[in-house]
Structure 1
Amino acid sequence: MAVPAFAASLDVPHAHYGLSVGNSETFNGLRFNLADEDVKTIRGMNFTVFNWDGHYEKAYTLTANRIDGLALGVMGPRAREINGLALGCWLTNVGVMRGINIAPIHVIGGTTTGFTFSLVHTLKKLNGIGIGMVTNIEEESNGVLIGLLYLTAPKVNGVVIQGLFSGKVEEVTGLSLEWGSLAFLASGILAGLSVGPAPETSASPSFSPVGSKKLTGMMIGGYNLVKEQKGVLLGLFGNSIKKGSGLQIGTLFNTAESFDGVQIGFINHIEENPFLFRWMPGINFHFGGDAEEKENP
């Protein structure tokens, strides 16, 4: 049976400032409460221990409107807006966060500006630095984003650092560092530099390719798989593209369906070259546009 939060509070020396113990709705100073209910504005230091069973069943319920200062909680804190420092042992839930947000397990929020650390992020938008073992951004991230195990974001402006098993980032503008990736990595645009020598995993091809639909810039990886390339591909083992231009360097092999540029590697393949020059050792090249462009000027 759910136990309701206390509506009353003990406030010293005044009802709105000083020291408060209980469910004070508007207070400035030090405030301690077991479980928040319909809190309006707290300025100072707020410590809420946990939520009652009714709140636990609705884990995403926001029980406070605004907290300015230091927000602490064992299971929380939870507020529509937090400005300052938020520390919780589990499930920090905030609509808008400005400052530092740290929860060992699971940070849920709308827009976070500042520094966020958690084993799991589920944020709508991140501006600043986010560090999480599993990070999920619904809209975009501006700044530094570190995934470590897994990271998903439609768009990242700045620096992305993913480790072990990289997740899905659709568009990157800036610098992306990958160490170990799954085959569905970066199914969008990589503009800048992507680095990712990838180990073999059961969930991907032999060398777990660092891959994208479109590359503008430079990609460095164990095996680079790109649909459309403009720039430089450096592959420890090789590079594979459908259409591109620029430079491909791969220790073992390079392959392309349509390519304007130079390939350097042990074996090089350009499908649109004349039959005798499609497969070449050491170096291969093609200039002058692809067959489709010649047929449809």
Structure 2
Amino acid sequence: MTALPLSLVLIAALIHASWNLIAKKSGGDARFALFTCVVLAIVWAPVGIWFGWRDAGSYGALQWGLIVLSGAIHMAYYLILLRGYRVGDLSVVYPLARGSAPLLTALVATSFLGEALRLLGWLGITGIVLGILLIAGGPALLRSLRAGHGGDDATQRLRLGMQYGLLTGLFIAFYSVVDGYAVKHAGVSPILLDYLGNLCRMPFLLAVLYWLHLRNPLGLRDYVKQMWRPALIVGTVSPVSYVMVLYAATMAPLSQVAPAREVSMLFATLFGGHLLGERDKGRRLFGALCIAAGVIALTQS
């Protein structure tokens, strides 16, 4: 990979980790998810309209069905991610979410689709599992759980962070399969898939918010006043990293671009340790490094 695409991927990874840091600090919920979707739809409307005018007229039932399905899966992913950030640490949720998705994909492919991994791939899986264990607390956590002393607040927060991180990774794997099929086999423009998928998320989120409002009034006006700055940043910036990676993929092999993105896990772990004061930053950073190395090995196998 030459300097230009590598620079684009590294900057994209930093942007991705940065908007996740903002989402974590905001403590946002379903209202925040809808707010960022509205911002994205407005800010990126010129790009969406241009690509829609150019490509959308040729789409049939398959393409529109994939766009709607992608939007629904992305909505579930985003809501689970935000929930994970409210109950867990950034340096736990983010690496587990990013690292578990390729692990789950590889396990499904080898178990049910008849695919085989070389030694490098199994070493990659070992690195991901080791990294997950390190982020989860390493031997000390295992000893405390065996001894039955795993009920303190810190351990409960760690458990919830792991659960939501792994669940987020599952949905990342889901949308990766759907989006990959849409782009590679159904001829959907990646940028249009992202923009129209965002528009499809909005009715789903409105339905979720209406259901939540029936149970407990949400106070949307005050929430908008409180959250408009982080929502504006996340809604504006979050598509940028995706576009930069797509552009890098036109100049370098995807097999090199995709693994390089995982450096975002290291950025997120550093942010969690230094900017949010999350504990055990050294061990979690090493765990994130193991996951990133494992993902790179897995994608090269």
TM > 0.5: no
Q: Which has the higher contact order (CA 8 A, sep 6+)?
A: 2
Higher helix share: 2
TM normalised by structure 2 equals: 0.18
